[in-house]
Amino acid sequence: MKILAELKKRKKLVIGIVIIFLILLGFIVIRSRKQERPLAFITPVRQEIIETLEISGTVDALQKARLRFIAGGKVTYLSAQEGDAIKKWQTLATLDPASLQKSLQQDLNLYMQNRWDWEARIDDTKYRWLNDAEQLAKDKAQWDLENKVLDVEIQDIAIKNTRLTAPFAGILTHSPITSAGTQLLGSDYFELVDPTSLVFVGRVDEADVAKISEGLSAQIRLDAFEGEIFATAVERVSFASSEIADGTVFSVRFPLLSANDGLRFRLGMNGDATIELTKVEQALTVPLNATRIRDDKIYVDVRTGEKTTEEREITTGKETDDVVEVLSGLSESDQVLLPE
């Protein structure tokens, strides 16, 4: 039994030694392969580099209106449905004016009655002196007549407001009713949008707003038109900011008129705008991943021999997602190490 236990102990020792040997052997093989792997170098390239800023936004309209009646009432005429093209000054709907017209006729009758009384008083007092009481009565009669004129004008305005007209040509994007004979509330509205005034409105963080100015070229990509790019330019940067969940932002407006052939765009479409901030011709560039930052300085590894490199500090300028402009520290003849 003692001999058998000794053999088992030796067997375990041998297995352990073999495992350790295999691990060391694998480590040596992997290390030698790494050492044998050739280093990859690139030379700085002169090319055009464009610094851009991408912001998200939606399609909106400069000219749109919500039209309401001053008060509710029964609709007696409806000229259009949602989606219809509307002409300028076209009547959209009218309310029943019957009671208002009766009130107007009553006010006109009262006006005429006060007018005749006033003229009779003038004829009676034209050639004699009036005492204080008579002068006061005359003044009151004049004020009553003027008030009746105002009553007639107010009723006329009320009748005119039973007709809702379009202040500009456009498309009816919202209607609270689909047929005449329906009762409208004072809060119900019709919405009219001018499709020739569509714009793309993006939101830019306050940290980037100083980089943007009117006239900068831009490209818009809308989610609804995958793969299509619409050329435009910055038309306006808002003076006032707005607060959202992510912080303070400013709105940036881009015109879409030239690209909206056939009314392809719709209010609320989402997309992104890429603004061209600066462009540098024939800039000396290296891949961005070939650089590293340490202590607020930027370094690259430059080839000094077949398998040797040296660290060199460089000064950089504009950069994109892939490359960075080199202002000093490298020449076109240098070879820069690429990371594995």
* Mean pLDDT, range 21-49, rounded to an integer: 73
Question: What is the amino acid identity at position 140?
Answer: K
Task: State whether CATH 3.40.50.720 applies to domain 41-49+281-337.
Answer: no
Share of the chain above pLDDT 90, in %: 46
Task: State whether CATH 2.40.30.170 applies to domain 54-63+195-280.
Answer: yes
Task: Work out the pLDDT band at 258, boundaries 50, 70, 90.
Answer: low
The string of pLDDT tens digits covering residues 283-336 is 999 999 989 999 889 999 999 888 888 999 999 988 888 889 999 999 999 999
Task: Work out the pLDDT band at 85, boundaries 50, 70, 90.
Answer: very high
* Mean pLDDT, range 13-35, rounded to an integer: 66
Comparing 15-29, 87-101, 199-213, 299-313, which segment has the lowest mean pLDDT? 15-29
- Contact between 322 and 337 under an 8 Å Cβ cutoff? The reply is no
Nearest CA to 222 among 273, 175, 283?
273
Nearest CA to 42 among 298, 280, 285?
285
Torsion sign over Cα 327, 331, 334, 335? positive
User: E-assigned strands of 63-142?
Assistant: 64-67, 73-78, 85-86, 91-95
CATH code of the region 64-191: 2.40.50.100
Determine if residue 201 is left, alpha or beta; phi over 0 gives left, psi from -120 to 50 gives alpha, anything else beta.
beta
- Tell me if the pTM is above 0.85: no
pLDDT score at 10:
63
In the predicted model, what is the mean pLDDT of the chain? 85
